[in-house]
Structure 1
């Protein structure tokens, strides 16, 4: 008797670790989103970060990040292709805030280093997965000389 479902290959250890990495980044994005929302509604910073008390620069940046971070968290958690893209947008906004406009936003070198480390880890995972799939494709071919 034949099986009704097609054979689905088991994910490799690299794919499993990459999924765990993306979900960890997703959890951190959700945490950042909660922090921005708490600031905007006056729950944190003793109410000093409330939206109506912020400077225009902070209003624009905090509002954008309060919206972009939950979307990035959802995309990363679901392991869809647009999740890392939205995360890159959020990370680019924060890197621009703290590196290029330190007078308006302050300086947070640890956060910038965190974003760079996550991006480098993501690139290394993608390179490892590309190499792994390339090797598997070369092994499967039977028409090679």
Structure 2
């Protein structure tokens, strides 16, 4: 058997890469849900003092509009497994972390959102590290 026929390139993704793809698609669903919730807030579908655009303070108007656009955009990128999807998600997550952890007097204190974004970011880094180490290790 020649060396050319004995060496095959495996093009199938590893198990970790498949799980990572599904992880991104699950996060995509959450991003779409968050985007819809921000759109509900903008159009005033839900009764409440901060649930209509014209009644919101300016700081809520700016962040709600930005996140209403970015979250569905991140959802599309994550679902398609595009390289820009996690970047847009990171912008959304960083904005909400700054909102709820940095300015709780303006936006309220929502530690569950802050912790969930940090947890997703940590899982993302772990997945990327494991995939990197898998590809780096020589296969026999």
**What's the TM-score, normalizing by structure 2?**
0.90
Which of 72, 94, 97 does residue 99 from structure 2 map onto?
A: 97
Is it true that 1:139 corresponds to 2:139 in the alignment?
A: yes
| In 2: Cα distance, 1:30 partner to 1:92 partner | 17
User: Would you say 1:50 and 2:18 are equivalent positions?
Assistant: no
Residue 139 of structure 1, CA deviation: 3.3
Q: Are the equivalent residues in 2 in contact too, given 1:23–1:76 (CA < 8 A)? A: yes
In structure 1, distance between residues paired with 2:12 and 2:83? 20
Cα distance in structure 1, aligned partners of 2:139 and 2:43: 56
Could you say which residue in structure 2 is the equivalent of 1:34? 36
Unmatched runs of 5 consecutive residues or more in structure 1: 1-6, 141-145
Indicate which of 57, 61, 66 corresponds to 1:59.
61
Query: For each residue in 1:78-115, what CA deviation from the matched residue of structure 2 results, as whole angstroms up to 9, or x when unmatched?
Result: 00100000000000000000011111100000000000
Structure-2 residue corresponding to 1:71: 73
* 1:39/1:47 contact within 8 Å kept: no
Gaps of 5+ in 2: 1-8
1:124 Cα deviation (Å)?
0.2
Counterpart secondary structure, 2:124: helix
TM-score normalised by the chain length of structure 1: 0.87
The Cα RMSD (Å) is 1.2
- Answer yes or no: is the 8 Å Cα contact 1:26–1:77 preserved in 2: yes
> Residue in 2 aligned with 1:111?
113
Matched length: 131
Distance 1:88 1:100 in 2: 16
